[in-house]
Amino acid sequence: MRKFLVLISLIVLLLIQVGCDRLQKIVTPKQEQKPLKIGFVVAGERVTYPNGAEMAVTEINQHGGLLGIPVELIGHINQEGRLDISLQIAEQLIVEGEIIALIGPNRSSHAVEVGPIAQRYGIPMVTTTATNPNVTNAGDFVFMAAFTDSFQGNVMARFAKEDLKLTTAALLTRKGDLYTEGIAEFFALNFTKLGGEIVANEFYEGDPSDFTSQLTSIAAAKPDALFTSGFVQDIALITQQARAVSLQNTAGAPTVFLGADSWDNELLFDNEDAEIEGSFFSGHFSADTDEPAARAFVDAYESIYESTPSGGVAVSYDAVKLLFEAIERAGSLNPNEVRQQLAATQNYTGATTIASYDENRHPTKSAVIFTIKNGEKQFHKQIDPF
């Protein structure tokens, strides 16, 4: 079985198309029938995210399937990260793939546009690491498995002000992206409410390689912290160039780098040019957890993939499990009944935990703060809902 699951991991890196032949190997002859199809969409270089979703599917099949029917995960990695591709994939999965539900996308800017497609067809949709609150605006068929940026921004602002005792902060934000602009705004709003001061607010567009102009302006303001909410390639360059200009606060101490869940990526930690030592950022999940269900998830994942699951992998697993539990409670595949049971979720426990959903289908759940020590991501503390 382990060799079989490792093989699945390799297939996922190219294009997930988990077919009936695979399902027939893990179900009994009695269950050999047309499988229920679950769509999965991920954009960018998050090639391990589908592993979490596949784990959840494998678990349900090993226990007899969903309502006694085997489940098939059908998904695509939109590695180019283009919005039009995510939209096309979602439409095809619903119309041609005949999926009963959609998991993802992971990017807020994609999820907010895919949501109306799921809503139009009446297909339950559970996003993975999409965090902007507007993701669920499409309607009552769209749910989030991740915390919102309104919560995440508050978490990092409180941490900066109350734990680190920082009084001034600067922002450097990728312009034109729903996630990056949103999380920066939520951080700034909460930091100022707590008595902090935003002393510089700089933007950049596209994929620049030179941030000298923005960092020079920020350096003149001498902030205690720099909150940057770009993508992985941006963060590596920004931190490297910020240290090159000797970014410091008024006391002459190095400015502290702060970030959000986009930082939780091995591509950043493995980048030798990134100057992220001593930084802090928020995330969805820590593999150092002692919570029994989460610990079981980590142990199973490490035994299968021989690597440590990231927050995105954990939330992808949870998104699928949330859907499955809602269907089992409904005792039906009727989309409206499944939607109602998703909304009624109480005390879900998986890789992460969700106490409940609010009227906007945003989950009540905790966040984790990490720091970088000796070049490695380390758990710092957990922040529960306020």
Map out the domains of the chain as residue ranges: 2-147+289-366, 149-283
The pLDDT confidence band at residue 46, using thresholds 50, 70 and 90, is low
| Tens digit of each residue's pLDDT (9 = 90 or more) over 120-158 | 999 999 999 999 999 999 999 999 999 999 999 999 999
Torsion angle, alpha carbons of 229, 232, 234, 237, to 10 = 120
| Tens digit of each residue's pLDDT (9 = 90 or more) over 189-220 | 999 999 999 999 999 998 899 999 999 999 99
Q: Is the pLDDT of residue 320 over 60?
A: yes
Q: Is the pLDDT of residue 317 over 70?
A: yes
Do the domains 2-147+289-366 and 149-283 sit in the same CATH topology, yes or no? yes
CATH code of domain 149-283: 3.40.50.2300
Domain 2-147+289-366: what homologous superfamily?
Response regulator (3.40.50.2300)
Q: Report pLDDT for 368.
A: 98
Instruction: Give CA–CA dist 384/39, Å, rounded.
Output: 31
Q: Is the pLDDT of residue 104 over 80?
A: yes
Instruction: Give CA–CA dist 193/300, Å, rounded.
Output: 43
Q: Could you tell me the pTM of the whole model?
A: 0.89
| Tens digit of each residue's pLDDT (9 = 90 or more) over 73-103 | 998 888 889 999 999 999 999 999 999 999 9
Buried b (16+ CB within 10 A) or exposed e, 322-336: bbbbbbeebeeeebe
Q: Is the pLDDT of residue 159 over 90?
A: yes
67 burial (CB, 10 Å; 0-12 / 13-18 / 19+) is middle
